[in-house]
Amino acid sequence: MEERNTGITIEASEVSIRYRTGDFKDIGLKEWVIRKIRKDYHVEEFMAVKGVTFKLYEGDLLGIIGTNGSGKSTLLKAITGIMEPTNGYVKVTGQIAALLELGSGFDGNLTVKENAYLRGAMLGYTKSFMDEKYKEIISFSELDNFSNRPFKQLSTGMQTRLAFSIASLVQPEILILDEVLSVGDGAFQEKSARKMREIISNGATTILVSHSLEQIKELCNKILWLHKGEQVAFGDNVAEICDNYQHFLNGDVIS
């Protein structure tokens, strides 16, 4: 197949990501001194992602699958720039709207409205833009009656709806969603899937981490399967890779 070079929005090349635990900044000065004296100071290193390589083009919707701890969220952190790859590189062309850990970027004691503005500011939206869009956000997330309630009174599903509504408000060039669409109820899942399709049909590249193979098959045109940080498969044969993964989960032997 002819290689297209234009329109690449995300390129991951041999990306490996290492976590270090127990080092100085993790344990603090006092514990470090004690462990040094006891000759019990070790830094543990752990490769969470190992040599992942893929390219995405405008309009691609990549689904990432893999069992717990396979490195999906860690890879997203490298794509969004929260973490630097230890080896390899990630090149991103375009503005990213990412919905990673739920609740991060929210303050439980502030109201829903104040949190919407706070989150908006974190995504780079101005106050006047938020003034203009707030009604749309609150109505899309079906939280019209909760505007002045403290954020901590919202259920996890409600929090997700708010976060999704804010992140998807503008037309991002790249949309990254980590396990968030499964949290809302069925009706909201449908609505957010519709919204995602709208964003994608306008040319955005989307990455979706999901444990729902049905959702991946329905939405994605590309798929990446990670296992213990390794790339088991990447391609556009979404149904086939999902089936192989299902066999793997069932414990069947794959020929």
Ligand X SMILES: Nc1ncnc2c1ncn2[C@@H]1O[C@H](COP(=O)(O)OP(=O)(O)OP(=O)(O)O)[C@@H](O)[C@H]1O
Q: Which residues of this protein are in contact with ligand X, per CB under 6 A?
A: 19, 21, 46, 48, 66, 68-74
Helix (H, G, I), strand (E, B) or coil at 210: coil
Q: Which residues contact 71 (CB under 8 A, 6 or more apart)?
A: 17, 48, 49, 50, 52, 226, 228, 229
In the bound state with ligand X, the residue whose beta carbon lies nearer, of 21 and 95, is 21
CB of 255 to ligand X, least distance (A): 26
Strand order through the sheet with 205-209: 87-92, 8-21, 44-57, 230-235, 222-227, 61-65, 205-209, 174-178, 96-99
CB of 101 to ligand X, least distance (A): 10
Q: Are 157 and 186 in contact (CB under 8 A)?
A: no
d(CA 65, CA 209): 6
CB of 39 to ligand X, least distance (A): 24
| Burial profile 226-247: b = 16 or more Cβ within 10 angstroms, e = fewer | bbebebbebeeebeebbebbee
In the bound state with ligand X, the residue whose beta carbon lies nearer, of 19 and 129, is 19
DSSP 246: H
How big is the chain, counted in residues?
255
CB of 184 to ligand X, least distance (A): 18
CB of 222 to ligand X, least distance (A): 18
In the bound state with ligand X, the residue whose beta carbon lies nearer, of 74 and 141, is 74
In the bound state with ligand X, the residue whose beta carbon lies nearer, of 69 and 94, is 69
In the bound state with ligand X, the residue whose beta carbon lies nearer, of 46 and 129, is 46
CB of 173 to ligand X, least distance (A): 24
d(CA 22, CA 2): 47
In the bound state with ligand X, the residue whose beta carbon lies nearer, of 140 and 245, is 245
